[in-house]
Structure 1
Amino acid sequence: MAHCCTVLTGLLVWSLFMLSWCEASRNNINRYDHSYGTFKSNSLIKRRDDITRLKSVARASLRLPTTVSVSDFGAKGDGKTDDTQAFVNAWKKACSSSGAVNLLVPEGKTYFLKSLRLNGPCKSVLTVQILGTLSASQQRSDYEDLSKWITFDGVNSLTVDGGATGTVNGNGAETWWENSCKRNEAKKCTKAPTALTFYNSKNLRVNNLRVKDAQQIQISIEKCSNVQVSNVEVTAPADSPNTDGIHITNTQNIQVSNSIIGTGDDCISIESGSQNVQINDLTCGPGHGISIGSLGDDNSKAFVSGVTVDGAKLSGTDNGVRIKTNQGGSGTASNIIFQNIQMENVENPIIIDQDYCDKSKCTEQKSAVQIKNVVYRNISGTSASDIAITFNCSKNYPCQGIVLDKVNIKGGKASCSNANVMDKDGVLPQCKST
């Protein structure tokens, strides 16, 4: 760390030295005459003073961050003792401090937590280092809000890093999944917590984190902007209900990269209000694939634009890349690219469904979310069903500007209705526009 700081300091000082030299030369270029000796001397003195000042600034800017450990506030980490209040107290200290602060969850321990809401804004530039395991309570009474377990709310410039060992364990199997109406239709449908929620935050980083067995959604990113998620691993059984891996809604400028997701619902789900979503190098399976939607449910207006999935491997999933919208909705899903994707034994490799319905009774309606400008490029693999490509679009709002380019999916046919489709090069199976 010290070596790194020394190198950074040297680079900063060198850069600013050169800037100072150029500025002095520019300011004095028209004064190059017999007073040159005096100019040169004064210039060097000024540069020496500038460098001294800049070294001081560099040392201050590269000062090691303050560490606040949950252990210092009484967290036991024995997996049984309730550590919730210790986390709250440690958060208050870290959030209210100035400068760079690391909130440390030590390695090798398991911290039992009830519902936990960590609010901003914070004075500090905060990094939460989760090196141990966070373990969720299975008692419904331990949740003030049954839809959330751990929530970061209104915290800008936040980094959450799991290092090599950090794990968030929702313990969903016994209480939450077993009582889900999705597993047992005789059960009443009730809320279940999202394991990890980031809400109303800017400049968010989530790195090197493992999330497993969430009560419901694993990671939800809501109403955020400028987000990077990388090297995240999400795991849950294929039959775990509603356990979306990463759920994105009302969020702009987000990149998800180099991540592995295997779960019981969508690996990544993208909902209304999301713009400029970049997904790179994703491994998905089991799960329901990569989904945009559902959009327009309960006759609502929905907008999604600028989604790019570039580089993904999907294996044994219920769907591959899917756009799903409800009848009766309105708005648009546009400017979407799916490219450089490999699929193995996927049920519905490419699918657009404008008649999606997850209710017990659905009626045909005239309005629909308009889907337009969608490109499928360099996609290959095998279909586990008879239909490899499905474009089930609205009669009143047919899909516009659908492009298939170098798509080769074996084992199934294409079924297309109400879709304006262009087959560019090497497309199998081919989809005829209707």
Structure 2
Amino acid sequence: MILLFSLLILSFEGFSSCVADFDQDVSSLGAFSLHGVGAYAAGFYEEMEGDEGDLLVRSIDQIRNFGGRSNEKVVSVEDYGAKGGGADDTMAFEKAWNAACSSDSPVSLLIPKGNTYLLKPITFSGPCNSDISVMIEGTIEASSNPSDWNGKNQRLWIYFNKVNNLAVLGGGTINGNGKVWWQKSCKVDKSQPCKDAPTALTFNACNWLRVESLNVINSQQIHVEFENSKNIIVSSISISAPGNSPNTDGIHVTRTQNITINHCTIATGDDCISIVTGSQDVHANNIICGPGHGISIGSLGAKGSIAQVSGVTVDTAQFSGTSNGVRIKTWQGGKGYAKNIVFKNIEMSNVKNPIIIDQNYCDSKKPCGQQKSAVQVSNVQYSNIKGTSASKFAINFNCSKSFPCSGIVLEDIDLVKNGGGSAKSFCANVKWSKEGTVIPPPCALQLEDA
């Protein structure tokens, strides 16, 4: 079995290492094409067990050399009638996508630089006949008229659905034109009903995906979302919206496995990165965050739901002026787990809650009553986290009485109050341990005292 697997890998052109989805039969791999996609050998591992060679673990840290290749056919949106300059170019983009998606050879869909193209809600659907690179070199701007979403999904603007082997890159700008939506948000105007607003860029069921070198600004709500997808590289993305813009998360990850987010700068009115249920093997490296609400796992377990998040690593990040640093937030009454999480090599500057676990999260007008169930939080490591706290509690562990936090490790922490002075720790219902120097010292209130 191992020999057969090795021969199949060698048959893929251009691979230094190769991984495929083994939910399918190994015999089907011959039809699996990944034009121009490769994996760094150091980031790829597999474990085989037993005579039948069951694949237990597969991981990929990088997908490279994919998108914008010189031998790709080019389809420009202007070839299909896109004019730019304020005209509605939605239909032209749809026609150009259909031509690209039906191509029997690798193709680049070009959005030329030097122009701004206005789009109403649009869906780019797969599966496609070959691999596609979407080269956004110009600017794509959302319609400023919310009525253009009437009868359509209010949560979507640019939507990639079931497109595998896709690259979206080019250095251009995606402008959600969100101000008109923010003004009608119930978080800004209490008289308004609470409604969904569009996510600027959504990828659903897109496997073997690369998103690189884009500017995403002023989204109506979430800027970029990955859902129900596997094997993703996100790199060199700049995301920007005012600090008071409501629900404008930078990157949102849900029901997605094996995603790496590299070298991104995010300034928003909500979480810079939010990771919610169904997400596994999420790696965020070299992130600059602020303003915003920090990097959050959650919220999880709303309305008694089951949440499962595991294998999250945040390595090398800078937070400036954010309301939180690294946060895990779960609702009372939820079920499931958030486990095997690492936050390391992080700098905090004037951050209100640098390190926080909140198992009693409540984003509701009505008080959230005490519940007997909770999402279990366990095996969380904080290592080499330094800087300044905007509040007196630099470490805040507010855990559940019914399902206390466990396996919490603090190592080489140095957090002081912004402007000078000592910060404090707050602990409720948590089992922690420490290694090296930890400032402020973990508080004496432990599980047995809570």
TM-score, length of structure 1 as denominator length:
0.84
Matched residue type, 2:426 = S
Aligned-pair CA distance for 1:162: 2.4
- 1:10-409 to structure 2, matched below 5 A, reads 64-78=71-85, 80-143=86-149, 144-163=152-171, 166-173=172-179, 175-361=180-366, 362-409=368-415
Aligned-pair CA distance for 1:63: 7.3
Matched residue type, 2:157 = W
Matched residue type, 2:370 = E
Matched residue type, 1:180 = S
Aligned-pair CA distance for 1:98: 1.2
Large movers: runs of 4+ above 4 Å: none
Matched residue type, 2:294 = G
Deviations 1:151-203 (A, max 9, x none): 0000001000023xx00000101x20111111111211112100000001100
Unaligned runs of 5+ residues in structure 1 are 1-11, 16-61
1:430 aligns with 2:441: yes
Matched residue type, 1:416 = C
Partner of 2:63: none
Matched residue type, 2:232 = V
Q: Distance in 2 between matches of 1:128 and 1:158?
A: 8
Note if contact 1:423-1:430 (Cα within 8 Å) is conserved in structure 2.
Answer: no
Matched residue type, 1:141 = S
Q: Secondary structure at the match of 2:99?
A: helix
Partner of 1:41: none
Aligned-pair CA distance for 1:67: 0.3
Partner of 1:417: 428
Q: Distance in 2 between matches of 1:407 and 1:343?
A: 11
Q: Distance in 1 between matches of 2:107 and 2:438?
A: 53
Note if contact 1:388-1:414 (Cα within 8 Å) is conserved in structure 2.
Answer: yes
Aligned-pair CA distance for 1:86: 0.2
Matched residue type, 2:241 = A
Matched residue type, 1:265 = D
Which has the greater radius of gyration? 1
Q: Secondary structure at the match of 2:83?
A: coil
Q: Distance in 2 between matches of 1:72 and 1:318?
A: 46
Q: Secondary structure at the match of 2:296?
A: strand
Note if contact 1:233-1:260 (Cα within 8 Å) is conserved in structure 2.
Answer: yes
Q: Secondary structure at the match of 2:311?
A: strand
Partner of 1:3: none
Q: Distance in 1 between matches of 2:153 and 2:103?
A: 28
Unaligned runs of 5+ residues in structure 2 are 1-12, 17-68, 418-422
Q: Distance in 2 between matches of 1:408 and 1:223?
A: 38
Q: Distance in 2 between matches of 1:99 and 1:318?
A: 48
Deviations 1:273-304 (A, max 9, x none): 00000000000000000000000001000000
Matched residue type, 2:384 = N
Deviations 1:343-386 (A, max 9, x none): 00000000000000111221110000000000000000000001
Matched residue type, 1:179 = K
Q: Distance in 1 between matches of 2:140 and 2:153?
A: 18
Identity of aligned residues (%): 54
Q: Distance in 2 between matches of 1:300 and 1:246?
A: 22
Matched residue type, 1:151 = Y
Q: Report the RMSD for the aligned CA atoms in angstroms.
A: 1.3
Q: Number of residue pairs matched? A: 372
Distance 1:63 1:414, change over 3 A: closer
Q: Secondary structure at the match of 1:72?
A: helix
Aligned-pair CA distance for 1:145: 1.5
Note if contact 1:347-1:385 (Cα within 8 Å) is conserved in structure 2.
Answer: yes
Q: Distance in 1 between matches of 2:174 and 2:136?
A: 9
Deviations 1:37-90 (A, max 9, x none): xxxxxxxxxxxxxxxxxxxxxxxxx97110000000000011x11000000000
Q: Distance in 2 between matches of 1:366 and 1:424?
A: 32
